[in-house]
């Protein structure tokens, strides 16, 4: 299923046949490009970047690599091909044909899901806006920009759904996507994690490791949707998401590797004099990013989530592979609760627990990479273990929002939290130090002092390839 690049908006949804929709998207396109110029990667307009561009949505060979000026990247609308006779696979409409248009009775829920999803995409680009100035290598700079252009395309994907299926209020929501901004005190992004700072590369790699992984799980749940255009859009987005998590995992892994090498070489845990990042600092950044991402899954017990499931709008992770009735009749699920100051568990109707279930999948998946980081540390004979903090640590949404705990989940009072939080979360001094070593490296093949080189280059190119060309 090839993509038509002769159109002003590349697409595989026959936009040319729908003049009204085409006009709406063509009206939005200049606003998007203006947003990219003002809020996208800073000072990047003239750079030529070795980017991957989708040429087909088929599983084999969908990508094309070449140097592109980012404002000329061909953002467009790509959906995976329709599945013949696709059915709704869960909830009260299970077994009915998947919807090809918006079911009127679920319009507002569906719009809300699409708006929440869409809002995160430009938010991440805004959060990462200044990172190009401090890239640790050309290889990393290129990866940052690849992630950014794809997040831009994911916004296009959600805006397409809003404009194509939600009429006037869809168009208004599409405009609002470019009006809210990450961290803007008056018009912030919807979910808090998308308002946080990401202004150093350790944060960027944590972001792409944890936050993009939330993206994977949320998109996978929406890819099960009974609303077929949403399912097909999310399926294609997931193929791109995998690369973002690769950037996160290899990025953290390379930092851990370099820190271990420096510790061995200089026989010290304190890397601040040798331009490296201490393992304790890496742990603090991990605590921060992991905990704010747990919030992204919503409340443990959620009527919204129950409604999305029952209505057939948002399924569970790999819904069709789960061996049950897909309606959750009479089923229960154990969720954490707070009893006074004690963390305990409770059984609730499984249908109301799907946020928690998804969060647990996310945690398991996150742990797998952390195990790989720990192997790097062990291989250097260093006695240190990186850990994911307890689900109750540093939470602002859900059962644990009102309490303070240590990273291992021991409840503590406000005074102790105030006194000790700097042991567990990045302090101003930690951020200042990390920022101080973010000195740009733009010579092909060279790496900053605090990160090891990647194992291989991109798409078979050597490590010292000019992944980004400056003029």
Give the interface segment with ligand BYC, choosing from 17-25, 74-82, 300-308, 377-385 (CB under 6 A). 300-308
| Residue 120 binds to ligand BYC (criterion: CB under 6 A) | yes
Answer yes or no whether residue 436 interacts with ligand BYC by CB under 6 A.
Answer: no
The two three-digit tokens of residue 20, written as one number = 């009204």
Beta bridge partners of 11: 4, 77
Q: Please, what is the minimum distance in Å from the beta carbon of residue 173 to ligand BYC? A: 14
Answer for the pair 150, 49: CB distance below 8 angstroms, yes or no: no
Dist. CA 221–CA 230, nearest whole Å: 11
Tokens 């990045």 identify what position?
426
Distances (CA, A) of 121 to 79, 95, 180, 423: 17, 32, 12, 32
If one asks whether residue 24 binds ligand BYC (CB under 6 A), the answer comes out as: no
191 part of the interface to ligand BYC, by CB under 6 A: yes
Residue closer to ligand BYC by CB (options 335, 437) is: 335
CA distance 389 to 283: 9
Dihedral angle sign, alpha carbons of residues 371, 376, 378, 379:
positive
What character string, x for contact with ligand BYC (CB under 6 A) and - otherwise, covers 309-328?
-----x--------------
How many whole angstroms separate alpha carbon 289 and alpha carbon 281? 12
User: Measured from the CB of residue 385, what is the shortest distance to ligand BYC in angstroms?
Assistant: 27
Residues 136, 452: Cα–Cα separation, whole Å: 10
> Is residue 369 within the footprint of ligand BYC (CB under 6 A)?
no
Beta carbon of residue 274, minimum distance to ligand BYC (angstroms, whole number)? 32
The pair of structure tokens assigned to 312 is 């057939």
- CB closest to ligand BYC, residue no: 298
Q: Per-residue contact track with ligand BYC, 151 to 190, x per CB under 6 A?
A: x---------------------------------------
Which of 297, 317, 424, 467 binds ligand BYC (CB under 6 A)? It is 297
Residue 239's H or E segment, with its range, is helix 228-266
Task: In angstroms, give the least distance from the CB of 429 to ligand BYC.
Answer: 28
Give CA–CA dist 15/19, Å, rounded: 7
Question: Rounded to an integer, what distance in angstroms lies between the CA atom of residue 80 and that of residue 212?
Answer: 20
Q: Which two tokens stand for residue 60?
A: 């084999």
Q: Which is nearer to ligand BYC, 217 or 424 (CB)?
A: 217
Q: Which of 44, 124, 203, 389 binds ligand BYC (CB under 6 A)?
A: 124
Interface residue with ligand BYC among 215, 369, 426, 454 (CB under 6 A) is 215
CB of 341 to ligand BYC, least distance (A): 23
Least distance to ligand BYC from the beta carbon of 362, Å?
Answer: 11
CB 216 within 8 A of CB 173: no
Shortest distance in whole angstroms from residue 307 CB to ligand BYC:
9
CB 439 within 8 A of CB 452: no
Nearer Cβ to ligand BYC, position 113 or 282?
A: 113
| Contact positions vs ligand BYC (CB under 6 A) | 113, 116-117, 120-121, 124, 151, 191-192, 211-212, 214-215, 218, 295-299, 302, 304-305, 314, 355, 397
């Amino acid at each position: 299923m090839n993509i038509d690049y002769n159109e002003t908006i590349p697409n595989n949804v026959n936009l040319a046949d729908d003049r009204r929709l085409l006009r709406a998207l063509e009206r939005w396109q200049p606003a998007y490009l203006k947003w990219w110029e003002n809020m996208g990667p800073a000072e990047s307009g003239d750079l030529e970047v070795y980017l991957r561009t989708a040429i087909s949505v088929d599983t084999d060979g969908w990508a094309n690599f070449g140097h592109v000026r980012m404002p000329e990247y061909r953002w467009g609308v790509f959906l995976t091909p329709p599945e013949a006779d696709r059915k709704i696979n869960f909830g009260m409409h299970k077994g009915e044909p998947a919807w090809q248009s918006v079911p009127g009775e679920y319009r507002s829920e569906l719009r809300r899901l699409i708006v929440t999803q869409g809002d995160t995409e430009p938010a991440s680009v805004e959060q990462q806006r200044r990172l190009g100035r401090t890239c640790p290598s050309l290889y990393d700079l290129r990866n940052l920009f690849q992630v950014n252009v794809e997040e831009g395309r994911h916004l296009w994907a959600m805006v397409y759904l809003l404009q194509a299926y939600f009429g006037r209020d869809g168009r208004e929501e599409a405009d609002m996507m470019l009006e809210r901004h990450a961290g803007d005190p008056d018009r912030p992004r919807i979910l808090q994690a998308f308002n946080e700072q990401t202004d150093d590369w350790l944060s960027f790699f944590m972001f792409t490791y944890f936050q993009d992984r939330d993206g994977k799980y949320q998109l996978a749940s929406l890819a099960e949707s009974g609303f077929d255009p949403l399912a097909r859009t999310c399926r294609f987005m997931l193929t791109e998401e995998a690369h973002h998590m690769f950037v996160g995992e290899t990025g953290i892994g390379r930092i851990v590797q370099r820190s271990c090498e420096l510790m061995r070489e200089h026989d010290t845990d304190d890397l601040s004099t040798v331009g490296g990042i201490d393992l304790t600092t890496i742990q603090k950044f991990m605590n921060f990013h992991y905990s704010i991402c747990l919030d992204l899954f919503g409340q443990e017990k959620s009527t919204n989530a129950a409604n999305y499931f029952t209505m057939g709008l948002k399924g569970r992770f790999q819904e069709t592979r789960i061996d049950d009735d897909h309606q959750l009749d009479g089923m229960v699920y154990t969720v954490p609760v707070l009893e006074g100051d004690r963390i305990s568990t409770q059984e609730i109707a499984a249908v109301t627990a799907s946020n928690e279930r998804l969060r647990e999948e996310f945690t398991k998946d996150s742990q797998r990479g952390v195990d790989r980081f720990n192997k790097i540390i062990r291989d250097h004979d260093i006695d240190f273990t990186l850990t994911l903090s307890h689900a109750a640590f540093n939470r602002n949404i859900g059962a644990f929002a009102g309490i303070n705990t240590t990273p291992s989940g021991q409840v503590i009072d406000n005074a102790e939290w105030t006194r000790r939080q700097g042991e567990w979360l990045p302090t101003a001094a930690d951020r200042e130090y990390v920022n101080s070593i973010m000195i740009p490296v733009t010579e092909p093949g060279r790496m900053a002092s605090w990160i090891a080189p990647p194992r291989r280059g991109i798409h078979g190119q050597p490590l010292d390839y000019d992944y980004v060309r400056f003029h």
